[in-house]
Amino acid sequence: MDLLALWDVDYTLVRADGLGTRLYEVVFREMFGRELPAVAPKAGRTDRAIIGDTLELAGVSRDQVDAFLAGLARVAADGAMRAQVQPMAGAPDAIAALAAAGIHQSVLTGNIRPLAALKLRLAGLGEHLDLDVGAYGDVHEVRAELVTVARRAASQAYGADFSGASTVLVGDTPLDVEAALATGSRVVAVATGSYSAAQLAAAGAHVILADLTDTSRVLAAVTGTVTAQGTVTAQGTVTGQEGAAGLVGPDRA
């Protein structure tokens, strides 16, 4: 069966040093001639949703969202903003391991594409990720809506069916988990962001990893195959060596 792995970007693949927020500030200043007073909560949300709420906090109509997105795309594409964007521990090897296993990979991210591409490029993670079949944060306010977009693009590109559990989301927030469950996808949660393993388990993640540093566990989590640590079951538990460090099976699927 062909598999499509869709990676979240921030705090799953990269640590971006506040790059997105600084670009928001640049665009707001250019559009409205004043400083951005606050940014709405971001974790797991799409740029379209975040920008709408951020503009409202600043007393600006949500009618300006599309113009703001266009400005954000422009400043991200020119690459002038400097930032210390770093890959998350294990991310390069995890991506390479999935590629070696023949798994199609892209991103499903709240970032708009130019911003996602910039972060990945600065982190040195462009190889093996087909950004043309990804789904990005300008498409919809609701993250789950991006899954259909990515599946359709991947099916057209690869001539394969990625319905149901053949699509696997990898992310660090409950909204990544929610997007997967709402679309019948599998989800591998990584506790590398602001949410604990317990919170990700409560959200319903099928499998939870402490991080991406053990590539065999990442591969087992994404594919469900047998590894030295055991078999990842449909419920996310590990048989053969239960409780292996770095791989947690939640109480519910």
Segment 36-93, tens digit of pLDDT:
999 999 998 999 999 999 999 999 999 999 999 999 999 999 877 777 899 999 999 9
Question: How many structural domains does the chain have?
Answer: 2
> Residue 211 has what pLDDT?
96
List pLDDT tens digits, range 99-121: 999 999 999 999 999 999 999 99
**Of the residues 53, 78, 103, which one is the last residue of a structural domain?**
78
3-state SS class at 69: helix
- Let me know whether 126 and 229 are in one domain: yes
CATH code of the domain containing 152:
3.40.50.1000
- Please give the mean pLDDT across all residues of the chain: 88
Q: Answer yes or no: is pLDDT of 137 > 50.
A: yes
Question: Across residues 181-186, what is the average pLDDT?
Answer: 97
Confidence of residue 250 (pLDDT cuts 50, 70, 90): very low
Closest residue by Cα to residue 176 from 112, 81, 221, 110: 110
Give me the pLDDT at residue 83, please: 79
Are 23 and 9 members of one domain?
Answer: no
For residue 253, tell me if it sits in a domain: no
pLDDT of residue 84: 84
CB proximity list for 147: less than 8 A, separation 6 or greater: 6, 108, 135, 167, 169, 179, 180, 182, 183, 185
Residue 39, domain extent? 19-78
Report the b/e string of 148-168 with b at 16+ CB within 10 A: ebbbebbbeeeeeebeebbbb
One domain, residues 89 and 199: yes
One domain, residues 184 and 130? yes
Residue 7 CB burial class (10 angstroms; 0-12, 13-18, ≥19): buried
For residues 67 and 126, state if they share a domain: no
d(CA 209, CA 132): 27
For residues 67 and 179, membership in a common domain is answered with: no
Q: Are residue 73 and residue 103 in the same domain, yes or no?
A: no
